[in-house]
A and B are shown apart, each in its own frame.
Chain A
Amino acid sequence: MAAVATCGTGAGSTGSMVAAGSKNNVTSFQRRGPRASGSDSSYSRLVSIAGTRPSVRNGQLLVSTGLPALDQLLGGGLAVGTVLLIEEDKYNIYSSLLFKYFLAEGIINGHTLLVASAKEDPADILQELPAPLLDDNVKKDFDEDACNHKTAESNIKMKIAWRYQLLPKMEQAGPVSSSRFGHYYDASKKMPQELIEASKWHGFFFPEKSSSTLNIEPCSLTHGYIKLLQFIQNTIYEEGFDGSNPQKKQKNILRIGIQNLGSPLWGDDICCTENGNSHSLTKFLYVLRGLLRTSLSACMITMPTHLIQNKAIISRVTNLSDTVVGLESFIGSERETNPLYKDYHGLIHIRQIPRLNNLIYDVSDVKDLAFKLKRKLFTIEWVQDNYLRQERNIYPPGFSYLLKQKDSAWGEGSLQHSTFLMSFLAKATAFASRLVRHSEPLEQTGSGRALQAAGPRLWRDGRRQEAPGLLVTPP
């Protein structure tokens, strides 16, 4: 691999542009335009970092978060140099799982890890990482999973609920090889010990480091945050992630994972009182983001925002982070018994996506997302049939309904709306003897009104007319 050289400066042509003009910093915000003749070395160098790929929209370098479904929702992945903030669910079950996926992805890709926690020893966290799913082992598991999955129906072209067909499909789980961008993990197995030992990681366990002295004058940051910032900055500087060591031949990404930031275990009291040290966490995030922007690193932070007493801090923290994802689990809440959510374990809210190097950003159209941890896999799906299920509650089965058309009783009306409703009421073709009208106007002979009032006249030729939009009658 070629040694790091300065990217082509001076020429304003397309290609890479160095963010910091003075030093030989290579930051993550490089534009990957069409390869100009002079500056191709930096292009190939950055793209060749394992586990990264450029974004299709703005050429931003992306890493995977460990969950391909979440990558898809975030516009391809997590941009290098940014902060992903996960708002923890109530019992910190699924957020710690996402945290482990993030670290496991780093190990598989060969990135350097920096794990910071005030609750668990980072060495123990690394022992608990999930094992990656590789090609041959679990292919048959996926086949039987796909058969049972109800999306087999959705492959049929939707005649009624045609608007739902326009929504993007979530990526289905499948076995992948290790050279792909995102990997799937098996939450029930542990990562093999040899992979963990082969990886390079730095751990910051706050109870161990809290006793050493500070060499920075006391500002409003709490002790724990200052130590953590110094540790991160030392790691970045010594390992050369900020481009300060030009002799490094192979560039790599530093994945920083900080667990439970803001909790009282870090010495911060924003979760305990309302008028606590309200600037400590925000200052920490600001300086952390400054460190990330000037180095090849990406950070995931989990934060118990449901415990923060002062709600203004949450909006400040959101403004200071780049990507914010909130998890809400159904455990212990009233939604556990809601039939709409019976297959899922919680909701996932994409609260903020950054607009990096661009006026626009990739935002998914799908807003109601739920996740489930099923058969060892963490999947995120659009909560389907929301509208249909609500409709079913308003029109319980077993009754008959007369649907009045929009303009006149026998006019055309809104074909799609009424057939949509009708179809789903008439799902089992056990028509009640009374009038379940569909909206297709029949041919009128003579005085139409009298003709169409009688029920049996629906059966014109002895066979029922096939109305568009009605579900096919089972034989």
Chain B
Amino acid sequence: MFPELNNLLNTTPDRAEQGKLTLLCDANTDGSFLVHHFLSFYLKANCKVCFVALIQSFSHYNIVGQKLGVSLTVARECGQLVFLEGLKSSVDVFFRAQAEPHPLQFLREANAENLQPLYEFVREALKPVDDGDAAWRCPVLLVDDLSVLLSLGMGAVAVLDFIHYCRATVCWERKGNIVALVHDSGDTEEEENNILLNGLSHQSHLILRAEGLATGFCRDVHGQLRILWRTPSQPTTQRDRSLTYQYKIQDKSVSFFAKGMSPAVL
């Protein structure tokens, strides 16, 4: 959790909003620092988190999480975090036929139609626990990232359906949040990715877009972050609020500053 980003988004772990879909997207740069931020943010906010991590291994998120002040192993042991490690499970699914449907079942199939097993997994993970000894604040689904699902053979429509089902269950029914990362290649040839990105942009309440600098690589400014607040359900009578900041990623935090006001320049 980066305190500066919390200030920009005007949230704290105590006052986290509910029922929101946040879209993270990155273009020409690596936006995974945003995923680490939201993971630690929601764990500190005492929410039950289901993390579908398709790109990196558990230890990667754990080590970075420790730098940000949360321990994923502890969270997983006490039930606050349900972690689906895509890379490890893919090996199991691919080489051995599973008895029951596995969330990554589509890896074995030639033409997987939909992501229903994955949705069932998410729904099961974020089911409200009735015994009530550890009442978590609200369920949160975190996906890193959705573009990998396109690379693995799912169509954009299937992924949009999956997010729609998750939204109905997590955001509307259980008043939770969803955070998903999508890569933006910026290339008009990638039609599926553009469909996915446009579709999700219209559904989301908050869009965080990390872009590389247009002038190329810079050692002191790693990129630019655009924050866009939207109200997808109501017609926009007023303009959506948007802010742009530049950032530099450091070892344990990310510092944000207004455009052109990098401390290295001033």
- Collect the chain B residues with CB atoms within 8 Å of residue A220's CB: 110-111, 153
A24 interface residue per 8 A CB criterion: no
Contact with A along B149-172 (1 / 0, CB 8 A): 011110000000000000000000
> How many A residues touch the partner, as a band?
35 or more
Contact in complex: B91, A287 (CB < 8 Å): yes
Scoring A20, A219, A233, A363 by chain B CB atoms within 10 A of each residue's CB, the highest score goes to A219
B5 interface residue per 8 A CB criterion: no
Contact in complex: A291, B91 (CB < 8 Å): yes
Question: Of A147-155, A308-316, A331-339, A464-472, which binds chain B?
Answer: A308-316
> In whole Å, how far is A19's beta carbon from the nearest beta carbon of chain B?
4
Contact with B along A21-55 (1 / 0, CB 8 A): 10000010111000000000000000000000000
> In whole Å, how far is A11's beta carbon from the nearest beta carbon of chain B?
11
Contact in complex: B189, A359 (CB < 8 Å): no
Contact with B along A1-18 (1 / 0, CB 8 A): 000000000001000010
B261 interface residue per 8 A CB criterion: no
Choose among B32, B153, B217 the residue that contacts A355 (Cβ–Cβ < 8 A). B32
B6 interface residue per 8 A CB criterion: no
Contact in complex: A357, B60 (CB < 8 Å): yes
B201 interface residue per 8 A CB criterion: no
B108 interface residue per 8 A CB criterion: yes
- Interface SS of B by simple majority: helix
Residues of B70-112 at the interface with A, using a CB-CB cut-off of 8 Å, are 71, 73-74, 76, 86-91, 94-95, 97, 107-111
Contact in complex: B73, A357 (CB < 8 Å): no
Contact in complex: A286, B90 (CB < 8 Å): yes
Contact in complex: A282, B151 (CB < 8 Å): yes
In whole angstroms, what is the CA distance A282 to B30 when docked?
A: 19
Query: Given the interface contacts A319-B183, A360-B249, does A294 sit within 8 Å of B58 by beta carbon?
Result: no
Query: Given the interface contacts A12-B73, A290-B90, A294-B91, does A219 sit within 8 Å of B67 by beta carbon?
Result: no
Contact in complex: A358, B64 (CB < 8 Å): yes
A230 interface residue per 8 A CB criterion: yes
Contact with A along B3-39 (1 / 0, CB 8 A): 0000000000000000000000000001011001000
Contact in complex: B91, A233 (CB < 8 Å): yes
B242 interface residue per 8 A CB criterion: no
Contact in complex: B217, A17 (CB < 8 Å): no
A407 interface residue per 8 A CB criterion: no
Contact in complex: A286, B189 (CB < 8 Å): no
A229 interface residue per 8 A CB criterion: yes
Query: Given the interface contacts A233-B95, A312-B189, A319-B151, does A359 sit within 8 Å of B36 by beta carbon?
Result: yes
In whole angstroms, what is the CA distance A287 to B94 when docked?
A: 8
In whole angstroms, what is the CA distance A111 to B52 when docked?
A: 34
Scoring A30, A286, A291, A365 by chain B CB atoms within 10 A of each residue's CB, the highest score goes to A286
Interface size on B, residues (CB 8 A): 51
Scoring B63, B91, B97, B191 by chain A CB atoms within 10 A of each residue's CB, the highest score goes to B91
Contact in complex: A293, B151 (CB < 8 Å): no
Question: Of B116-124, B130-138, B224-232, B250-258, which binds chain A?
Answer: B250-258
Contact in complex: B147, A219 (CB < 8 Å): no
- Interface SS of A by simple majority: loop
Choose among A233, A290, A359 the residue that contacts B249 (Cβ–Cβ < 8 A). A359
> In whole Å, how far is B43's beta carbon from the nearest beta carbon of chain A?
15
Smallest CB gap from B219: residue in A: A365
Smallest CB gap from A236: residue in B: B91
Contact with B along A224-239 (1 / 0, CB 8 A): 0000011001000000
Smallest CB gap from B194: residue in A: A312
- Collect the chain A residues with CB atoms within 8 Å of residue B177's CB: none
Contact in complex: B73, A21 (CB < 8 Å): yes
In whole angstroms, what is the CA distance A30 to B74 when docked?
A: 17
Query: Given the interface contacts A283-B153, A290-B87, A290-B88, does A357 sit within 8 Å of B59 by beta carbon?
Result: yes
Choose among B67, B152, B153, B183 the residue that contacts A359 (Cβ–Cβ < 8 A). B67
- Collect the chain B residues with CB atoms within 8 Å of residue A229's CB: 94-95
Contact in complex: B189, A311 (CB < 8 Å): yes
Contact in complex: B187, A315 (CB < 8 Å): yes
Scoring B63, B73, B111, B151 by chain A CB atoms within 10 A of each residue's CB, the highest score goes to B151
Contact in complex: A219, B109 (CB < 8 Å): yes
In whole angstroms, what is the CA distance A20 to B249 when docked?
A: 28
In whole angstroms, what is the CA distance A472 to B62 when docked?
A: 58
Contact in complex: B152, A282 (CB < 8 Å): yes
User: Which A positions have Cβ atoms within 8 angstroms of B?
Assistant: 12, 17, 19-21, 27, 29-31, 58, 216-220, 229-230, 233, 279, 282-283, 286-287, 289-291, 293-294, 310-312, 315-316, 319-320, 355-360, 363, 365, 367
17 additional contacts, CB 8 Å, given A289-B87, A359-B67?
A: A29-B59, A217-B97, A217-B109, A230-B95, A279-B151, A279-B152, A286-B90, A290-B88, A290-B90, A294-B88, A316-B150, A319-B147, A319-B151, A356-B60, A359-B64, A359-B250, A363-B217
